Each structure stands twice: as structure tokens, then as C-alpha cells.
Structure 1
Amino acid sequence: MNTIPPGLRYLAGAALSFSIMAAMAKLAGLAIPLFELVFARSVVVAVLAGWDVHRRRMDWRGRERGLLVLRGFFGFAALTCFYYAVLRMPLADATVIHFMNPVFTALAAAVVLGEHIGMVELGLTLLSLLGVVIVARPSFLFGASALDPVAVSVGLLGSVLAGGAYVMVRRLRNEDAGVVVLYFAVVSIILSAGFVVADPVVPTGWTWLVLVGLGVSTHFGQVFLTRGFQLERAARASSVGYLQIVFASIWGWAIFQESPDLWTWVGAAVVVGSTLTLVRLHPTR
């Protein structure tokens, strides 16, 4: 474990947290509208992030406030698109579409940040993507029933927006991770509040617990993700996020009774193997 750079360990933790978030969102979405999901998740995250920033006596206002707000907007839009796809598509399909974002992250990082992408790094990133496809086996690639084209388009848009958000996090490397997460949550609350007021649904029973779990898992995921991207180059950092598919397979079996088959384990091996190879061949700068 000590040979793995800290940034990549943070990113692995983010992958686990976000896989829990996706499962919670799909469960809560059975009773709660889309924007109320985003709002509830953001309220919990804002409370946790605000407490964390206050506890460490950090300046919650940050230094690059304009970029912090812009990152919050991109994050809100990407999250909303992802939730939309999750609620209207099988979880595996929505997740594999979302994980096309490393392509957009790498392209944006090369243009905006001037980061070099070597052929080996690019090849391993594409190999990781192949592993994602093997694990998820999306119906729009492997046949069977057709997916909702609107949901697919929204999912792809979310992937593009997530790529932009990740590059902004990289630019905000000198900002405290808690402050970045706090801005994301507050911006999301402001942007989603109007939709919630227009069509409110009061959570009941188990839904409250799921919403709290959604917010808590998102908070830790955002903290880990922000710190990881601050320590790692954008292209390599995005590749580690593929581990989320492995965790999603576990939750699919445990919560949704989706038993992983041979293809799932083959894909998981490709994802983990290519990610670990990426770590060994390209140590942190």
C-alpha cells in the first residue's frame, strides 16, 4: 500500500464512495424526483463540508472564488445528468456512459493545463475503458433492448461536463479540498432549490435514511476526489476512477440481486490490472 501514491489512494476511496452514491440515488429515485435528489444530497454535503472547514479553521471563502463557483456549476450539471441517466437506464449502462469522461478530461487537460499524454498512458487508459465495457456490457453495444436515446444523450453530456469539472479541480490544486466541496454543494443547493419548491415531495420512512446515505457517501467521494485530482495529473487520475465499476458490480449483487458472471470478473481484472500498471509505469511527478 505504501508504494501507491497518496493521490491514487484518495481516488480509489472516491470510486468506492461514488459507487455507493449511485446505488443510493437509484434506490431513492423510486420515490423522490430528480432535482430533489440533487438538493437533498447537496444539503447533507454542505453541512458536512461546512463543519469540516470550520473545524480546521479554514477560510471558507477560498482564494479563486470565480473558478470555485464555475466548478460548482459544472459539477451540479454533471451530477444532475448522471442522476437522470441512472434513474432512466440500467445502472451499468448509465455508469459506463459516465466513465467516458476520462477522454474529455484528458483532452481538456492537454489544452487547458498543457499536460502531456504519453502513448503508454493513453493505451492503458483505453484498456481501462475496455474493461469498463466488459464489466457493464451495455445493451446499446451488446444488443438486446434499445436504450432511451434521450437518457443516453444526457448521460454523455454529463460525461463531458464531468471532464470539465475535473480539470477545474486540477486548476484549484492550491485550494483546500473541503472548500472546493463546500462551494460545489452550495452552488447545487441554489440551482436545484427552485425545482424542489415547484414540485416538492416529502420523504418518508426508509427514504430519509437513503437520502442521508446519499449525501454522506457523496461528501466523502468529493473530498477524496478533490484531493486526488490535486495530487495527480488529470488523465491518470481519471483512470483510477474506473474502479467504481468494480464496486458497482458488488452493490449490484448485494442490493439489486445482479449476480456477477465470468465477464464481470474478466472486465474487473482488466480494469484493476491496467490501473495498477499505470501506477507502476508512471510515478507521481
Structure 2
Amino acid sequence: MDVKKAIKYMLFSTLAFACMNVTVKYLKDVNTYQIVFFRSLGSLFFTFGFLIKNKIPIIGKKNTLLVLRAITGATSMLLFFMSVKYLSVGTAVSLRYLAPIFAAIFAVILLRERIKPLQWLFFIISFFGVLVLKGLDTQIHTTGLILVLLASILSGLVYVIISKIGKSEHPVVIVNYFMVIATVLGGVLSIGNWVTPKGTEWLFLSSLGVFGYIGQIFMTKAFQSATTNLIAPIKYVEVIFTACLGVLLFNEIYTFWNLLGIALIIGGMVLNVWYKGRKTKN
């Protein structure tokens, strides 16, 4: 176990995802369907290349679950990208990180898993953060909030589906299904809504898949290098990186209530990861 290397990998991953988030914000004049299309198509070059190079079967075994995971994930990504057009990127990313709460609820209903009382307390802390954002921060756009919460709910369902798939599928096979479905979804929806990108927008659209793939690869390496309970909390640094880039590039303003709400959301999630890791050790 190489903790220092794992931390470096995760920080690099969060920076790549943060760059992808602000790129989506920059492309505010480009249709969201096109953003999904280009982000997914860009990653397909890497996933297909990896599978072919390593002679890994592209089709997989649990096809129904793979397709269901891909459709759910693609819809979640579409809704999240839509929300970024209404919310500051840091706020949107922090709200998306509510997904583990919904994953826990789905796991209780669908997988009959049990959630410890203390975990529910941490979830309540995070939900209180949402209430602070919506109730006390006048900058929060209702449409953006609804979109990102729907994206989080679907992301939670994705976690459960991946849990059902288990280790029977190679991780890149799962990601490849996701990218194929998302490319088709974004492409089909773009047909009647196409907005021709201008100038540097082509470059930024092309970079989405690269940032997404780099983030995914280094996140995987991080989890392979150290235990989940040590590395998972660092994933939330993505919110800090994204918010800082939002301030620097778009002059976004974060009020006291905005920062408090984000802190409660992320704090509750980090406490949950820490508690789960401690219980696993015991």
C-alpha cells in the first residue's frame, strides 16, 4: 500500500474532473446534448483502445445490467451538465455528491442492506446543507437545484447497479458501455438541437473526453494503491478545485450561506466514508 502515491493520483484525478466541470460551464452557449455527445465520444477512443489492446471482450456478460447502468449514468450526466448552466460549478458539484445518500436508500430497498443509525445522522447533516443552500442562499436557481438532485438520485442508482454487477465485469467494459450509450443519447438528442460551435469551442469540446478519462484512470489507480477509507474523502477536493476555478475563470461569487451549505454537504459525506471505513476495519 503506497498512501502518498494514492493521494497524488486522487488529487490529479480531482483536478482533471474539475477541469471538465469548468469546461462544461465555459460551453454555456453550446447545447447540453452536444456536450454529452462530445464528452462521451472523446472517452470512447480511450476505452475501445484499451479493450482492444488488452484483448478484453467488449460485449461483457451481464448485458442487461450493463445497459441499465449505462442508460442511468448517461441520463444523470445529462442532467448534471444541464444544472451547471444554472448553478455555480462548485455548488453543482457539491450537490451531485449527495449521490451516496440515494445509493444507501436504494441499497436498503433493492439489496436489503442495513444502514447504521450514525450514517443516517451524517446523511441528515448533508441534507441540511441542501436546505441551507436553498433556504438561505438567494443565488440558488430552483431549476438548477432540481436538475442536479435528479442527477444525484440517478447516480445513487448507478452505484447500486454496479454493486449488482460486481467483479464479473472489467471496469473498463462498464465504462465503455456507459460511453457508448451516452454518445448515442447525446447524438440522437443533438439532431434537432444542433448549435455549431465557434472558434475555441471545438477545442474545449474535444478536451471533455480527455479530462473525463484522465480523471477516471487516476481515480482507479488511487483506489488500487490504498484502502478506500483513506482515499475516498480526498475525492471531495474536486469541489474545492472546481469552486476555485469558477471564481478565477467566471468571477463566481460564493456567499457565506453558500459556503456553509457546501461544507455541510461535503462534511456529512466525508464523515460517512470515514465511519464506513472504521466499521470495516473493526
What CA distance in whole angstroms lies between the structure 1 residues aligned with 2:44 and 2:100? 27
CA contact (8 A) 1:105 1:235 kept: no
Q: 1:186 to 1:169 in 2, by over 3 A?
A: same
Deviations 1:187-229 (A, max 9, x none): 1111222222223233232212211221112223445667889
Partner of 1:173: 166
Alignment CA distance shift 1:179-1:276 (3 Å): closer
Range 84-93 or range 159-168, more displaced: 84-93
Q: For 1:33, which of 31, 34, 39 is the aligned residue?
A: 31
Supply the RMSD in Å over aligned alpha carbons. 4.1
Q: 1:105 to 1:258 in 2, by over 3 A?
A: same
Aligned to 2:150: 157
Contact 2:233-2:270 within 8 A present in 1 as well: no
Task: For residue 199 of structure 1, give the secondary structure of its aligned residue in structure 2.
Answer: coil
Q: Kindly tell me the number of residue pairs found equivalent between the two proteins.
A: 278
Q: For residue 74 of structure 1, report the CA deviation from its aligned partner.
A: 0.2
The corresponding residue for 1:82 is 80
Which residue is 1:20 aligned to?
Answer: 19
Taking only the aligned residue pairs, the percentage that are identical comes to: 23
Q: Is the 8 A contact 2:90 2:240 kept in 1?
A: no
Q: Aligned runs of 1:1-285 on 2, under 5 Å?
A: 2=2, 15-29=14-28, 31-124=29-122, 126-127=124-125, 129=126, 138=133, 140-145=134-139, 147=141, 149-174=142-167, 175-223=169-217, 241-258=235-252, 264=259, 267=263, 270=267, 274=271, 277-278=274-275, 281-283=278-280
Residue 33 of structure 2 contacts residue 189 of structure 2 at CA under 8 Å; is this kept in 1?
yes
**TM-score, length-scaled by structure 2:** 0.78
Distance 1:261 1:153, change over 3 A: closer
Gaps of 5+ in 1: none
Structure-2 separation of matches of 1:200 and 1:91: 24
* Contact 1:173–1:231 (8 Å) recurs in 2: no
- C-alpha distance in structure 1 between counterparts of 2:71 and 2:269, whole Å: 32
1:49-75 CA distances to partner (integer Å, 9 max, x unpaired)?
111111222111111111111111001
Do the aligned residues in 1 keep the contact of 2:40 with 2:209 (CA within 8 Å)? yes
* Contact in 2 for aligned 1:5/1:284 (Cα 8 Å): no
Q: Which moved more, 1:82-91 or 1:33-42?
A: 82-91
Indicate how the Cα distance of structure 1 residues 279 and 11 shifts in structure 2: closer, same or farther if over 3 A, else same. Answer: farther
Kept after mapping to 2: 8 A contact 1:26/1:87: yes
Amino acid at match of 1:281: R
Taking a change above 3 Å as real, the CA distance of residues 238 and 37 of structure 1, as seen in their structure-2 partners, is: same
For residues 116 and 106 of structure 1, the distance between their equivalents in structure 2, rounded to whole angstroms, comes to 9
- Which TM-score applies when normalising by structure 1? 0.78
What's the offset of the Cα at 1:254? 3.5
